[in-house]
Amino acid sequence: MSQFPSQQDQPRPSPPPMPEQGGSRTANLAPAVSGAPVVKQTERPHPLTPFIRGWLVLVAIVIGFGRDWLPNGSNEPRMSVSDLQWVLPLIAVIVVVAAVVGFVSWYFTRFVIDDEELRIETGALFKNSKRVPFERLQSIDVIQPFAARMFGLAELRLEVGAGNSTIKLRYLARSNAAQLRDYLLARAHGEQASRSHIGPASSVMTDLSSAERPLVTVSAKRLVAAFVLSTEWLVTMGIAVLAIGISAQQQVVGYALPGLIPLLIGGVTMIGRRVVSMFHFTLAQSPRGLRVTRGLTNLTSQSVPVDRIQGIKISQPLLWRPFGWHRVDVDILGYGTSAGENNESDATSVLLPVATADQVQLALDEVMPQVDLNAVPMHRSPSRARWFNWFTAQTLRYGWDPSVLITEHGLLTRVRNIVPHAKTQSVRIEQGPLQRRLRLADVHVDTPKGPVNAVARELDEAAARELALSQLDRARAARGLDRERLAQRRSPQPAPDRRQADELADREALARFGIDESAFLGSGSESRVFALDENLVLRLYRSRHEGPAEVAAQLRGLYDFWNGADPGFEVPRIVDTGEVAGRMYTMDRRLSGRNFSGWLPEAAEDERRSALRSYLRVAMSISRLPSPVAGFARLVGEGAPQQFGSLAELLSAQLQRVIGASRDRLEADLPDVAEIWTQWHRDIAGRASSPYLVHGDLCPANALCSRGPDGTPVVTGVLDFSPHTLAADPLMDVTGAICFLELESYPEAAADAAWLTEQAVAELGEDIRHWIGVYRRFYAFYFSSAHHFDEHLYAWCLRQLRPSPVFEPSS
């Protein structure tokens, strides 16, 4: 079976060792007497903690006394300048007392977070010691209030159970807080990590590390526009403007001011909650779930474990509909927030404050990767429900499939609530006296406290009873399946032993060449790559890779066959092969340029589009490389070269080699997958093409870019030819260049892929659009069988095989 293709051996810096900051952490003290227990040295929060907390008290006092200087109805302030002689000393006393209390609290707050335990001790007079098992940790967030952020400090907030069970460590050095957060998340997921080996470091501005891939970034322009068009803001400001207008007309502004001030303060508070606290909102994929970062003055980094999401709410206000915007909230186990709560410094239940339909679908693919919400059959409430819902009865719908239950309602604001069956806590039927006369009832599917409120409204009595009973059965079956999957994940696997053996062999092999892990450039599923010098790189093949010696020999012969060819870009060249420390290796020519995938997120739109044009030209130019075999053929891999009588035979054989690994999964997620498979074979059989060399895995991560003579960025090299390299239809590489661009992590990737499609159509003709769709389905079938299952990639594959509109609430 083919290995999962490398998305590129791309350069990545080795994670630096994490500095020990933010406390007086020392090693465990050795026992003075043999056999005595080890005494651990505890840590304190950062020494600046009392100052930061005292500053917050001072700000609160100033605001509180400042209100008394505002004029009352007689245009006279409640306090005068003469009152300062007693106000200022009083403020000074309060600040001093707050500082002393803060110092005492800091001095008697100690904690131990090491490879063995999590323990936090507080209290001067009454000691309080909390020991928390790692497995009880539900989420760990890093909060950076403005005052703490100025000094490089952060608060570590640990959720350890439902209800009021939050542990706060105020304040730690930002790098120390991020290190502890990543370590505790690793331990909470059952990984035997060590605190001294956590990395890589996170960004100061976004708190995202290189290991985290941004999925959606909400622009400031869209955030402000969505806020201005929100019903909450329009109603509040409408009332304020109306009140001010009436007061001015009646000339009673001075008397109305005390009543208007709270209204204006409410408007400002709303701006803080909906704009300032959500500024630069970024949803990212992290190795242990999702990461939400947001905030203009206060930076909040919230960890969202996917398995603790209990339900999803998607809403769309009336004025958002012309723009196709939606809001996504979630119920998270352990967060008892109410709907719409967006505290400026607290973690919230907001997954996306405002997003397009495509971005909503991207987030849903991360939370529920194998669920197609648009394929769930929906049922309407009976017509007699209009007696209770005159204007909204037509919007009441409910439905379910094997994975989730969905309810919909709302005319001015469309709302869809989604509850996975396994997350159902209880089901209840409610029926009021008037409903009883009309034989109607509501079915509530309960989840933990939060914004999701899944209620199937105004159902026929029989339908309500059937839904409630069947939902209990579905929930019971889903929880049983989850327990089986959890047991499988926790069962001992031989893979870690093999990984440890691989690491030892790698270290020995690197030592033979006089280098170490600091020379690491990148890795793929087949090999790891290290820099030998400015001209050569060392490629160490993994032990699990099938036939590395055969593949390396085939690639060396292929590269030699290209000697003298000029496709317009650089291609690899193998100068030596061999085996060291039980590892197959090759020495390759080191190509110039920077990894294209790493450059794209940093580039301005005009430069990015210019480089993408050259990327498309390279995709069309790969066919200039000569093929060593006449006709359609598989050029690299076990038993290669293999020749085939037609393009359809070659590509069918490629899919047959790998599709067995994902057949059952595809049949479960796509009931009509057999029809899709048959239709694809019909389409590819009608493709008329001559055989040319095809890379087969052309993506930004397999390309290098440089500056041309005129300073314009251009793609200058292509890497990682592999067992996907064929003699086939060159349009396959054009399609790969486009569709794999969609999988890049920068926010504009989808828009760039759509733009690149139009460039290809303009270059090659309108009929190419159909064949790009055909080859999208080929890549979807092929990569759905990845050796290492990737939910994000698999969700992308499903979208290519199952083209359907992203979520739109029912009309």
- Residue 466: band (very low, low, confident or very high) from pLDDT cuts 50, 70, 90: very high
CA distances from 71 to 82, 256, 261 (A): 16, 11, 11
Question: Residue 92: CB partners within 8 Å, gap ≥ 6?
Answer: none
pTM for the complete prediction? 0.57
Q: How many CB atoms lie within 10 A of CB 295?
A: 22
**Domain 492-591 in this protein, CATH class:** alpha beta
The string of DSSP codes covering 368-428 is STT--GGGS-EEEPPGGGGGT-TTTGGG-EEEE-SSEEEEEE-SSEEEEEEEEGGG--EEE
Residue whose token pair is 């239809």: 729
Report the b/e string of 328-353 with b at 16+ CB within 10 A.
bbbbbbbbbbeeebbebbbbbbbbbb
Tokens of 469: 């009973």
Rounded to whole angstroms, the Cα distance separating 45 from 23 reads 6
Rounded to whole angstroms, the Cα distance separating 666 from 675 reads 12
- pLDDT higher than threshold 50 for residue 27: no
pLDDT value, residue 360: 92
Q: How many CB atoms lie within 10 A of CB 395?
A: 19
Question: Is the N-terminal amide bond of 171 cis, ω within 30° of 0?
Answer: yes
- pLDDT higher than threshold 60 for residue 74: no
Nearest to 144 by CA among 118, 111, 181: 181
- Residue 523: band (very low, low, confident or very high) from pLDDT cuts 50, 70, 90: low
Nearest to 646 by CA among 694, 679, 695, 687: 687
Q: Which helix (H) or strand (E) holds 583?
A: strand 583-589
In the predicted model, what is the mean pLDDT of residues 514-520?
80
Rounded to whole angstroms, the Cα distance separating 593 from 596 reads 9
Alpha carbons within 13 A on the beta-carbon side of 415: 20
Report the relative pairing of strands 139-144 and 153-159 from DSSP bridges.
antiparallel
Task: Give the strands of the sheet with 583-589, arranged side by side.
Answer: 520-523, 527-531, 536-541, 583-589, 574-580
Specify the amino acid at residue 77. Answer: P
pLDDT value, residue 313: 96
φ, ψ at 143 (rounded to 5°) = -110, 130
- 8 Å CB contact between 742 and 796: yes
Tokens of 218: 């909400």
pLDDT value, residue 304: 85
Where is mean pLDDT largest: 137-141, 299-303, 366-370? 299-303
Q: Which helix (H) or strand (E) holds 479?
A: helix 461-490
Rounded to whole angstroms, the Cα distance separating 669 from 489 reads 21
Rounded to whole angstroms, the Cα distance separating 392 from 413 reads 11
Within its chain, how far is the Cα of 203 from the centroid?
16
φ, ψ at 505 (rounded to 5°) = -65, -40
Angle between helices 791-801 and 357-367 (to 10 degrees): 130
Alpha carbons within 13 A on the beta-carbon side of 517: 9
φ, ψ at 190 (rounded to 5°) = 85, 10
Q: Which helix (H) or strand (E) holds 27?
A: none
pLDDT in tens, 751-790: 899 999 999 999 999 999 999 999 999 999 988 876 556 6
pLDDT value, residue 233: 82
Angle between helices 768-783 and 731-739 (to 10 degrees): 70
pLDDT in tens, 357-398: 989 988 998 898 778 888 889 999 998 988 888 888 889 999
Question: Residue 320: CB partners within 8 Å, gap ≥ 6?
Answer: 226, 229, 326, 354
Lowest mean pLDDT among 91-100, 422-431, 455-464: 91-100
Q: Which helix (H) or strand (E) holds 176?
A: helix 174-188
Where is mean pLDDT largest: 250-264, 308-322, 668-682, 773-787? 308-322
Question: Is the N-terminal amide bond of 200 cis, ω within 30° of 0?
Answer: yes
Report the b/e string of 362-376 with b at 16+ CB within 10 A.
bbbbbbbbebbbeeb
- 8 Å CB contact between 169 and 120: yes
DSSP three-state, residue 502: helix
Within its chain, how far is the Cα of 520 from the centroid?
26
In the chain, where the domains are located: 1-35+593-811, 49-213, 220-277, 492-591
Radius of gyration of the CA atoms of the chain, in A: 31
The string of DSSP codes covering 529-576 is EEE-SSSEEEEEEPTTSS-HHHHHHHHHHHHHHTTT---SSB---EEE
- The arrangement of secondary structure in 1-35+593-811, i.e. its CATH architecture, is Alpha-Beta Complex (3.90)
Rounded to whole angstroms, the Cα distance separating 188 from 136 reads 7
pLDDT in tens, 322-356: 999 999 999 987 665 433 444 444 457 899 999 99
Report percent pLDDT > 90 for the chain: 29
